Amino acid sequence: MNRHDRRKERRDDPYDSADFKRWSSDMRKRLIPKMRDSANVLMIAPDMSTEFDVQFALQIGATILLEKPLILLVHQGRTVPPKLLAIADRIIETNLDDLTMDSDDIQKQLTQAFNDFGEQ
């Protein structure tokens, strides 16, 4: 492989793009420290039948690597992949269309989950 081919190969690598470098830098500076400093991770599970959510995947991976309890809010009746079910420490099923985080039911379930997992 000559020098020109190596430059072209690097240029075609999506991880070498300026957009990816900006995004990954932002995730390292903004998201990961917040996750590291939190006692647990609360996420809304996306609809897995739609476009793949790369940021959700990054957050799930970071949650596992940082060994944080994972609390998932899941739309009632939505299918959650078995491996995601296996790593979730708590699943809260609710109607995400009408969700208000200050509702008594959600607050009670979240408070219980946070108390169950405590400081990490």
Domains of the chain: which residue ranges? 1-37, 39-120
pLDDT classification of 9: cutoffs 50, 70, 90: low
**CA 82 to CA 91: how far, in whole Å?**
12
Give bridge partners of residue 93 from the DSSP assignment: 74
Per the structure block, which two tokens stand in for 57?
A: 């995947």
Tell me the per-residue pLDDT of 46-79, one tens digit each, with 9 for 90 and over. Answer: 888 889 999 999 999 999 999 999 999 998 888 8
Q: What is the pTM of this model?
A: 0.75
CATH of 39-120, one of 3.30.365.10, 3.30.420.40, 3.40.50.970, 3.40.50.20: 3.40.50.20
* Over residues 76-92, mean pLDDT: 91
